[in-house]
Amino acid sequence: MPVVSLRDVSKVYPPTSKGGEPVVAIDGVSLDVEAGDVYGIIGYSGAGKSTLVRLVNALERSTSGEIFVNDRNIAGLPERELRGIRLGIGMIFQQFNLLNSRTVARNIAYPLEVAGMPKAERAARVEELLAFVGLSDKAGAFPDQLSGGQKQRVGIARALATQPSILLADEATSALDPETTHEVLDLLKRVNREFGVTIIVITHEMDVIQTIATKVAVMDQGQVIERGDVFDVFSNPQHAASARFVSTVVKGVPSPAELAVLQERHSGRIVTVSFRDSEVDQSAVFGEFTREGVSFEVVYGGINEIQGRPFGHLTLSLKADDVAVDAALARVRTLTNVTEAS
């Protein structure tokens, strides 16, 4: 049962300059997010990720298509009716968006004030939220007195105040160092598991996807070009543009500049071979090179792990005559993915 369902949704912004072209930020996207998912949205800057999540809580209105949130089509709903829908959707931001003039407790209380919750009830709820995010001792502190990780924990407490069923996270850990990122991701995992909150995370960080996402969609030029199980999309992307994006965040895939250096440094033919957990028998792959008398040297590589399953890439410099290398590569291609530097 999807809690968020987009059907052929588009968003076109008016031209940003006089005589300019309209900007198609979202171009016919259909996407289902199931209850309990932690759904990662990835892609290059400008791909449409932020616009997509802002459509889900109606911070932006769609140009066409249907957007179902908990079974209600919110596209075209008047502003007055959207307020209730928004209470069911929390959001956290890269820059935390806390009110600096309010204490931590009063930041968390803010959405409850807006929702008209009586004062005593509000205080009890804030206390509960502070305890959940581990900041009970910071109730009276101001945002300026907190570290980045603590600020984001306040952001999470505030987002959860009205007990939403959906949490949207827009680059929520991109301003944090790796250790703090992990603390915040652990907290988000608890939000998902303990409260059953469905989470949609926009990120460009491999760490985030690796640690918490259960599914992922890759966006490019306003479209979702690939989606599915995180391990599948990252270890074996099907679309050229998603492969290009994935190669920038996974370990072990040389960039075009790195390939150029490798080609200069090694006289053999440079190929990158992929390995996916037990699906690819590494000794069989290397056996094919040996069988054809091709000598190989590992010149680049890395192993990644998603949900406990390893996958990786090794770049080899292959030396033998072209006929032997071609014969070995043809056989290796029946076992796994191979790309050769041109």
Task: State in angstroms the smallest separation of the CB of 183 from ligand ADP.
Answer: 25
Among 34, 101, 92, smallest CA distance to 68 is for: 34
Q: Which of 9, 33, 51, 160 binds ligand ADP (CB under 6 A)?
A: 51
Distance (Å) of CA 243 to CA 72, 220, 236: 35, 12, 8
Least distance in angstroms from the C-beta of 46 to ligand ADP? 4
Which of 8, 13, 196, 251 touches ligand ADP by CB under 6 A?
Answer: 13
If binding is defined by CB under 6 A, does position 50 make contact with ligand ADP? yes
DSSP 178-247: HHHHHHHHHHHHHHHHHH--EEEEE-S-HHHHHHH-SEEEEEETTEEEEEEEHHHHHHS--SHHHHHHHH
| Residue 49 binding ligand ADP, by CB under 6 A | yes
Using CB under 6 A, which of 48, 155, 237, 312 touches ligand ADP? 48
Cβ closest to ligand ADP, residue 60 vs residue 277: 60
Give how many residues touch ligand ADP by CB under 6 A. 12
Between the two ends of the chain, the Cα-to-Cα distance in Å is 46
Helices 148-160, 178-195: axis angle to 10 degrees equals: 20
Name the one range near ligand ADP by CB under 6 A: 48-56, 130-138, 148-156, 273-281: 48-56
Residue pair 242/233 in contact by the 8 Å Cβ criterion: yes
Nearer to ligand ADP, 52 or 184 (CB): 52
Tokens of 99: 């009110």
Q: Angle CA(231)–CA(237)–CA(238) in degrees, nearest 5?
A: 135
List 224's β-bridge partners, or say none.
219
Q: How buried is residue 265: exposed, middle or buried, by Cβ count under 10 Å (0-12/13-18/19+)?
A: exposed
Least distance from ligand ADP to the Cβ atom of residue 246, Å: 16
- 16 interacts with ligand ADP by CB under 6 A: yes
Task: Tell me whether residue 16 or residue 267 sits nearer to ligand ADP (CB atom).
Answer: 16
Binders in 18-47 for ligand ADP, by CB under 6 A: 23, 25, 43, 45-47
Closer to ligand ADP by CB, 48 or 149: give it.
48
Residue with Cβ nearer ligand ADP (63 or 165) = 63
Q: Toward ligand ADP, which CB reaches closer, 239 or 309?
A: 239
What H or E segment, with its residue span, contains residue 340? strand 338-340
- Minimum CB distance to ligand ADP smaller for 52 or for 318: 52
Amino acid, res. 225:
I
Binding site for ligand ADP (CB under 6 A): 13, 16, 23, 25, 43, 45-51
